[in-house]
C-alpha cells in the first residue's frame, strides 16, 4: 500500500502528481534543485528535499540523490513525471532494487520501447501498423518496383546512412521511380560515401495521432481514445486535442482496439502512449512513450478519468478502476501549452512573473506551477502553464478556449499566449484542418 | 526638513532597492532615530503546508538587511537559521549524517578540535554507502551543526571549521 | 437573435454571464456603479456603462438607468443575474415594454412565485407536495386532533399573527396536543393580541433540497436533478452539493418528475428552482426561485450543461439543446461559497486583496471576479469566490475539495476559507449526515 | 505647512516613484519626524478588451500620493482625461446628450455664453424622455465636453461653467 510518494520531477507535472496523491490520501515528498526552492510543488508537498544545484545533470537527473531522498524521507514509491528520468530504464531498475515502487512500466519495457528498431519489431509482432517499406536496402529497380507497387505510391527513397533530408527523394509514380532511386544514390554517395538506399511509404500530409493506454498487473488494458497533436513547431507539440477531428468513430475504435490488444500481449504495466502518423485513415507507428504525456489532461477531460491516480493504483498492484466499456468519450477538449517564450520569435523569457491570473468558470482547467511573484529559473524548459478547456462539442470547446485565453494574464515575462490567441482564430484550426507541417507553414507565412 | 536630508533618504532608498534586487529579498525595513524606511517587493504565496525535512525559506522573505552590510547568505543558509552557516561546510549530497564511524564510537571531531586538511569530519550515508566529508583546510572545529543520524539535504550546513 | 447582452448585475455572476455570452459569440455590456469601475466583468466586457453611485438603490436597483444603458449601447437583451432586479416583476415588464428581451421568466410568473401564498396554491394545483396542515385556523380541539392524525405527529402549532418563534409549540403526540394549543394561544394573545393559531406538520431535522429546472417556449421542460443546500448559517447557504447524499435514485427521479410536470403545467419559461424541505424521504415545497441560483455550478458539473447558455437560448426562442433523457448525472460536485468575512466571527472584511491564487488541476472550477490587487468595495455582499469541485464519487469529490482548498490563497482580507477547510474535515460533512440546523449547531459548539 | 515644504515632499515622492519603477518595487514607505510617505504600486489586471463607451482607468494606477496631500480626483475624471473635468457639470444619468432642443435648432449654449442659475445647458434623453441639465449657478460657459448625440454614462463630465 503506497503511503508516501516521492515526486522525481519539477514544474507543473510535479504539482500534478502532488494533487493526485493528496486526493488519494497519500503523503508527498517534493525534490528540488537549488533553483527550485520556491516551486509550487515544494511549497505544497508534505516534505521537500533539495537534491543538488540548478543544472539538471546534478539534480533532477542524479539518480543516487533522488533515491537517497526517498530513503531519508521514508517514501515508498517514486513518480518520475515526464522527461528527466521518466524513460530511464536504469533508474527504474535502481528504484526497484532499493525496494521502492517505480510508478511506471518495468525497466524491460522502457528499454525495449526506447530502442526504435526493437520497438518497431515489437509492434509488427503485436499487430500494430508501421510505415511499410523495403525491409532492407534496394537491390534492383525491379525489386524496388515490386515493393513500391505493394505499398502504394508515392514512395520515399531514403539513404540508409542518411539524415537531415539528404539522399531523400519522393517518387510519385512508377515512371519516376528509377530516376528517384538514381538521384538518391548519387546524393547519398556524395554526402555519406555510401549509396545504399531503402524505400518507404511517403506520407505527405500526415497528422500526429497518439493513443493513450493504461494497463494494470492483472491483465486489464484500456485505451482512452486518441489525441491529435499535429500542431507542432520543431517537433514540439503546441496545441493538442481529443478526439481528433480527422477520425471517424469507426477508425477511433479500430486503432484503440489494435493498441490495447498489442499492449496486452506485451504484458505492459502502467500508462503509455502509442504515437502514430496518420494519413488517409491509415495509421503508421512512430514510437511508444512509456510514461505520462504532457498532454494527458485532454484525455482526462473527455473521459473523466484521472490518469495519475490510475498510474498510482496500478503501481500499487490494484486493478484499473474502470473497464473499457466505462471509458466514456464526452465532448471535446483542447490543450494550449503556454511557454515563457516570445510569441513570435520563441526566444525563452525566464524572469519574474509580476501578474498572474488564471481563467475560471465552467470546464476550464489550468495546470500550472507558477504564481504571481514566481521567478522562472533559466535552467529548465519554458512550459509555464497548460490551459485545457472542454466543451460539449468541438465548436463549444473552441469558443470557450477563446474566452479563457482572453481572461488569462501573465505579466512580467513573454509568453506564447498571443500565439494561442491567434491559433484559435485561424480558419484551419477552427475547422480542424491541419497536418504536422501546418504550424510551421503558418508561422513561416505570417 | 533640509533638502540635503531628503536627498540622503532618496539615496538610501535607492541603495536599499539595489540590495533588495541583488540579494533577492522581498522586503527591507530600516529604522533609526531619524527615519524609518520600508521597501517591499511584490507578493508571494503563503504556503499551505510546511515541509518537514527542512524548512523552505519564508515565502515573503522579510529579511532586514542593513545597507552597510549586504548579506551573501543563500536561502539554504537562511533556512538553517544560523549565523555561522555562511562559512560552514555544506552537505555535498542527500543522506544521513553520522558523526562517528560506528554507533557508540568516539565522534570524528568535537568542537575545539584542531583538524588538518583531509581529516574526516563526519560521514553521510546514502544508498547504503558511507561518504566521508573531509576538512578542506587545516583549522579548528568551531561548531557542529548536524546531529548524529540526522537526514540532510544537498547544501545543508554541517560543520564550521575556521 | 440575441447579439448583445447587457448584464444587469455585478461580481462573480456578472462575469459568469459574460463568459457564457462570449462562448456563444454574443457581445456584452457591463453596467457598474462608481464603486465597481475596476470590476472584472467591466474589464472584460465589450462595453461598460457607469449607471450611478455606489449604493445599490442608486445603481444596480435603478431600473431606468439600466434600461437607458441598454438603449445607448444597443443591447437587445438583459440578463439580471441573481439578487438585485432578478426577481422584480416590474423590471421584467419594463425591459419587455422597451422592446428588449428579458433573460428570465415572464413578469407574471415572477409575480406569482414572489407571493408565498399564491405560490403555495399554484404548487398544490400542480401536484407539488407542500407542508400539510389545517388549511385555516384551529376551531376546536377535536378538529385539531383530526387534522393532526391525518398529517401525522409531531405537529407544530403556529400563531396566525406570529413570527420569530413566538406562539409556536410542538406537540409530539395526541396527549400533548391540547396543552400545546392552549399554550400557543396564550403566548400568541400576549405577543400579538390575537389567539388564532393553526397547525402544520413539524419537521425536526429537515434538509434543504432544491430541484433545478429549465423550460423553453416550445413546451419542453427538463429537470437537472437536485442540490442539497442544507449547510446554512442564518439562512445563507454556505456549502452546496449535488446529488444530495440523502436521496435514493428513486426519490431523485420522482421529485424531479413532479417538479418538471408542475413547471410544464405552469407554462413557465427559463431557469428556475423549486426549494423543498425534505424529511424521511418526503418533500415539502418552500418556494420557487424564478432565476439562476448562486449554486447553479454544482448542477452544471454533474450534468455537463451550461445553464446560462441555455437561459440565453430559451430567451431567444430556441429549443433546449437537450432532452430529459440526455440530462446526465455523472459523479458528484460540491461548492464552497468563499466570503470576505472572518471565518469565525463572520465580520465582513472589505479591502484590498493583496494575494490571490486560484487552485488548479483536474475537475476544479473557480467562479470569482476578484484578482490580486482588487479592492472589495464595502457596499455589496461579501461573496468573493465559489470553489466548485467534481469527483467520480462523493468521496473523490471531498478529497479533491480538500486539496483545492489547501491550494487556494486569498491575502489581505479575512475569508471563510478556513471555515471550509474545517467543514470538509468534519465527520458529519464527510458522511453527508447533516440537516438545516447542523451548521449553526456546529458553529455554536465549536 | 509652507508650500516650499510641500514641493520638497512632492519631489521626494517623485524620486521614490522613479526608484520604484526602476527597481521594480511594490511598495516604499519613508517615515521621519516630519512626515510619513508610503507609495505603493497596485497590480491590476491588463484588460483584454477595452470598453467602447468610456475608457476605464489605467490598469496599473501607479499614482504616487503623498500622505499630506490627498488627491480628490475621482476615477471618472481621470477617465475623461481632461484637465477641466474636475469642475465640470457631470451627467446625472445614463443617456444621450442633445445640445439643442431639436435637430437643426440653435444650441442651448455655446462657449463664451453667460448663463444664469437654472438655465438649460443641454438635454439628456433616456427611455424616450428628455431631461434638462441646468446651470447650478450663474457663470460663463468655458467648455462643452459632450457632443450632440453622444451617449454618456453616469458621472461623465458634460460642460464647464465658471
Residues counted in chain D: 162
**pLDDT tens per residue across span D6-34:** 566 666 777 777 777 676 666 677 766 66
Residue C45 Cα, gap to closest chain D Cα (Å): 7
Give the chain C residue whose CA is nearest to the CA of D58. C38
The answer to whether A354 contacts chain D (CB < 8 Å) is: yes
Give the chain C residue whose CA is nearest to the CA of D77. C34
Chain C residues inside the 8 Å CB shell of B46: 355, 409, 411
pLDDT over 70 at B45, yes or no: no
Domains A4-83 and A207-442 share a fold: no
pLDDT score at B30: 67
Cβ–Cβ below 8 Å for A34 and B94: no
pLDDT over 80 at B119, yes or no: yes
pLDDT score at C190: 86
pLDDT score at A73: 97
- Cell 497533436 sits at which residue? A229
Q: Write down the pTM of the prediction.
A: 0.84
**Helix or strand (DSSP H, E) at B28:** strand B27-31
pLDDT score at B61: 27
Nearest to D29 among B6, B21, B38 (CB): B38
pLDDT score at D48: 35
The answer to whether A69 contacts chain B (CB < 8 Å) is: yes
pLDDT over 60 at D70, yes or no: no
Residue D115 Cα, gap to closest chain C Cα (Å): 27
Please tell me the distance from the alpha carbon of residue A335 to that of residue A293, in angstroms, as a whole number: 12
Architecture of domain C4-83: 3-Layer(aba) Sandwich (3.40)
Please tell me the distance from the alpha carbon of residue D144 to that of residue D151, in angstroms, as a whole number: 15
Chains touching D (3+ CB pairs < 8 Å): A, B, C
Do A314 and A272 contact (CB within 8 A), yes or no? no
pLDDT over 50 at B70, yes or no: no
Chain D residues inside the 8 Å CB shell of A355: 43, 45-46
Q: Which of A352, A357, A411, A413 to mutate to test the interface with D (most CBs of D within 10 A)?
A: A411
The answer to whether C411 contacts chain B (CB < 8 Å) is: yes
pLDDT over 80 at D3, yes or no: no
The answer to whether A425 contacts chain D (CB < 8 Å) is: no
The residues in A 97-116 lying below 8 A from B, measured between CB atoms, are 98
Q: Is B155 left (phi over 0), alpha (psi -120 to 50) or beta?
A: left
Please tell me the distance from the alpha carbon of residue A208 to that of residue A286, in angstroms, as a whole number: 9
Cβ–Cβ below 8 Å for A355 and D45: yes
Chain B residues inside the 8 Å CB shell of D35: 1
Cβ–Cβ below 8 Å for B36 and D22: no
Residue ranges in chain C whose pLDDT is less than 70:
162-165, 445-446
pLDDT score at D18: 74
pLDDT over 60 at D62, yes or no: no
Cβ–Cβ below 8 Å for C48 and D75: no
Chain C residues with a Cβ under 8 Å from any Cβ in chain A: 15-16, 19, 22-25, 44, 297, 300-301, 304, 306, 330-331, 355-358, 360-368, 371-372, 392, 396, 399-400, 402-403, 406-407
Chain A residues inside the 8 Å CB shell of B41: 373
Cβ–Cβ below 8 Å for B43 and C372: yes
Do C28 and C3 contact (CB within 8 A), yes or no? no
pLDDT score at D79: 43
DSSP 3-state of C420? helix
ipTM of the assembly? Answer: 0.78
- Cell 461598460 sits at which residue? C48
Give the chain D residue whose CA is nearest to the CA of B29. D29
Cell numbers that stand for C135 in this block: 388549511
pLDDT score at D128: 84
Return the closest-CA partner of residue B83 out of B14, B160, B15. Answer: B160
Please tell me the distance from the alpha carbon of residue A425 to that of residue A62, in angstroms, as a whole number: 43
Quote the CATH superfamily of domain A207-442: ATP-grasp fold, B domain (3.30.470.20)
Residue B135 Cα, gap to closest chain C Cα (Å): 44
Residues counted in chain A: 446
Q: Which of A291, A365, A394, A400 is catalytic?
A: A291
Q: Which of C227, C252, C291, C394 is catalytic?
A: C291
Cβ–Cβ below 8 Å for A362 and C19: yes
* A67 Cβ contact list (under 8 Å, min separation 6): A78, A94, A95, A98, A100, B126, B127
Query: Quick one: DSSP state of residue D47?
Result: P
The dihedrals phi and psi of C245, each to the nearest 5 degrees, come to -70, -5
Alpha-carbon distances, residue C45 vs A403, C214, C307, C371, D78 (angstroms): 11, 26, 20, 16, 20
Give the chain B residue whose CA is nearest to the CA of D24. B41
DSSP 3-state of C92? helix
- Cell 476615477 sits at which residue? D75
Give the chain A residue whose CA is nearest to the CA of B97. A72
CA dihedral defined by A66, A71, A76, A82, rounded to 10 degrees? Answer: 0
List the domain boundaries for chain D: 5-40, 83-161
**Helix or strand (DSSP H, E) at C192:** helix C174-192
Burial status of residue D75 (CB atoms within 10 A of its CB: 0-12, 13-18, 19 or more): middle
Identify the band that residue B24 occupies on the pLDDT scale cut at 50, 70 and 90. Answer: low
Please tell me the distance from the alpha carbon of residue A264 to that of residue A221, in angstroms, as a whole number: 6
Nearest to A355 among D24, D43, D48 (CB): D43
pLDDT over 60 at D50, yes or no: no
Q: Name the CATH code of domain A132-201 (choices 3.90.180.10, 2.40.10.10, 3.40.50.800, 3.30.1490.20).
A: 3.30.1490.20
**pLDDT tens per residue across span C197-225:** 888 899 989 999 999 999 999 999 999 99
Do A354 and A372 contact (CB within 8 A), yes or no? yes
The dihedrals phi and psi of C266, each to the nearest 5 degrees, come to -70, -15
Mean pLDDT of B68-79: 38
List the domain boundaries for chain A: 4-83, 132-201, 207-442
Identify the band that residue B106 occupies on the pLDDT scale cut at 50, 70 and 90. Answer: very high
Please tell me the distance from the alpha carbon of residue C329 to that of residue C225, in angstroms, as a whole number: 8
Q: Which fold has domain B83-161?
A: OB fold (Dihydrolipoamide Acetyltransferase, E2P) (2.40.50)
Cβ–Cβ below 8 Å for A38 and B44: yes
The answer to whether B64 contacts chain D (CB < 8 Å) is: no
pLDDT score at D27: 67
Asked if A400 is an active-site residue, the reply is: no
Residue B64 Cα, gap to closest chain A Cα (Å): 19
Identify the band that residue B76 occupies on the pLDDT scale cut at 50, 70 and 90. Answer: very low
- Cell 538553517 sits at which residue? B80
pLDDT averages per 10-residue partition of chain A, 446 residues: 97 98 98 97 97 96 97 97 97 97 98 89 94 84 92 88 74 93 89 86 94 98 98 95 97 98 97 96 94 98 98 98 96 98 94 96 98 95 97 98 97 97 98 96 79
Amino acid at each position: 500500500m503506497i503511503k508516501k510518494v516521492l515526486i522525481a520531477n519539477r514544474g507543473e507535472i510535479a504539482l500534478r502528481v502532488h494533487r493526485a496523491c493528496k486526493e488519494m490520501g497519500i503523503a508527498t515528498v517534493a525534490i528540488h534543485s537549488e533553483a527550485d526552492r520556491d516551486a509550487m510543488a515544494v511549497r505544497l508537498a508534505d516534505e521537500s528535499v533539495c537534491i543538488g544545484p540548478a543544472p539538471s545533470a546534478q539534480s533532477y537527473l542524479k539518480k543516487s540523490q533522488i533515491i537517497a531522498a526517498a530513503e531519508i524521507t521514508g517514501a515508498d514509491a517514486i513518480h518520475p513525471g515526464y522527461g528527466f528520468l521518466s524513460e530511464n530504464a536504469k533508474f527504474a531498475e535502481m528504484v526497484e532494487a532499493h525496494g521502492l515502487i517505480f510508478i511506471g512500466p518495468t525497466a524491460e519495457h522502457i528499454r525495449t520501447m526506447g530502442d526504435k528498431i526493437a520497438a518497431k519489431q515489437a509492434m509488427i509482432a503485436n499487430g500494430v501498423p508501421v510505415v511499410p517499406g523495403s525491409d532492407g536496402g534496394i537491390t534492383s529497380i525491379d525489386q524496388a518496383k515490386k515493393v513500391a507497387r505493394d505499398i502504394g505510391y508515392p514512395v520515399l527513397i531514403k539513404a540508409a546512412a542518411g539524415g537531415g533530408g539528404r539522399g531523400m527523394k519522393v517518387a510519385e509514380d512508377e515512371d519516376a521511380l528509377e530516376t528517384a532511386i538514381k538521384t538518391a544514390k548519387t546524393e547519398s554517395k556524395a554526402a555519406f560515401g555510401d549509396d545504399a538506399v531503402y524505400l518507404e511509404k511517403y506520407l505527405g500530409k500526415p497528422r500526429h495521432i497518439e493513443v493513450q493506454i493504461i494497463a494494470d498487473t492483472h491483465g486489464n488494458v484500456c485505451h482512452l481514445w486518441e489525441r491529435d497533436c499535429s500542431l507542432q513547431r520543431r517537433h514540439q507539440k503546441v496545441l493538442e486535442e481529443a478526439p481528433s477531428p480527422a477520425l471517424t468513430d469507426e477508425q477511433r475504435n479500430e486503432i484503440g482496439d489494435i493498441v490495447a490488444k498489442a499492449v496486452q500481449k506485451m504484458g505492459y504495466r502502467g500508462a503509455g502512449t502509442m504515437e502514430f502518423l496518420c494519413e488517409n485513415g491509415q495509421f503508421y507507428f512512430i514510437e511508444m512513450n512509456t510514461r505520462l504525456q504532457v498532454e494527458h489532461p485532454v484525455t482526462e477531460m473527455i473521459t473523466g478519468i484521472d490518469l495519475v491516480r490510475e498510474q498510482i493504483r496500478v503501481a500499487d498492484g490494484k486493478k484499473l478502476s474502470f473497464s473499457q466499456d466505462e471509458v466514456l468519450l464526452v465532448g471535446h477538449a483542447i490543450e494550449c501549452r503556454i511557454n515563457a517564450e516570445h510569441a513570435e520569435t520563441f526566444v525563452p523569457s525566464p524572469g519574474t512573473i509580476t501578474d498572474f491570473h488564471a481563467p475560471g468558470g465552467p470546464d476550464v482547467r489550468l495546470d500550472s506551477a507558477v504564481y504571481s511573484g514566481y521567478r522562472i529559473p533559466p535552467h529548465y524548459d519554458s512550459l509555464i502553464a497548460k490551459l485545457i478547456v472542454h466543451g460539449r462539442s468541438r465548436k463549444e470547446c473552441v469558443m470557450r478556449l477563446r474566452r479563457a485565453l482572453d481572461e488569462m494574464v501573465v505579466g512580467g515575462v513573454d509568453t506564447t499566449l498571443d500565439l494561442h490567441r491567434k491559433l484559435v482564430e485561424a480558419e484551419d484550426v477552427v475547422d480542424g484542418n491541419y497536418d504536422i507541417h501546418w504550424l510551421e507553414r503558418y508561422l513561416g507565412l505570417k | 526638513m533640509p533638502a540635503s536630508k531628503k536627498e540622503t533618504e532618496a539615496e538610501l532608498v535607492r541603495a536599499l532597492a539595489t540590495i533588495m534586487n541583488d540579494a533577492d529579498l522581498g522586503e527591507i525595513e530600516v529604522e533609526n532615530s531619524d527615519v524609518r524606511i520600508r521597501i517591499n517587493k511584490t507578493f508571494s504565496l503563503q504556503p499551505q503546508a510546511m515541509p518537514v525535512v527542512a524548512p523552505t525559506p519564508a515565502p515573503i522573505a522579510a529579511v532586514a538587511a542593513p545597507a552597510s552590510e549586504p548579506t551573501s547568505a543563500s536561502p539554504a543558509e537562511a533556512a538553517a537559521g544560523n549565523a555561522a552557516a555562511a562559512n560552514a561546510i555544506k552537505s555535498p549530497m542527500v543522506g544521513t549524517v553520522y558523526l562517528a564511524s560506528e554507533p557508540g564510537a568516539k565522534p570524528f571531531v568535537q568542537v575545539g578540535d584542531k583538524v588538518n586538511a583531509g581529516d574526516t569530519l563526519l560521514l553521510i550515508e546514502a544508498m547504503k554507502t558511507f561518504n566521508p566529508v573531509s576538512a578542506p583546510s587545516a583549522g579548528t572545529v568551531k561548531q557542529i551543526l548536524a546531529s548524529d543520524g540526522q537526514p540532510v539535504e544537498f547544501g545543508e550546513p554541517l560543520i564550521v571549521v575556521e
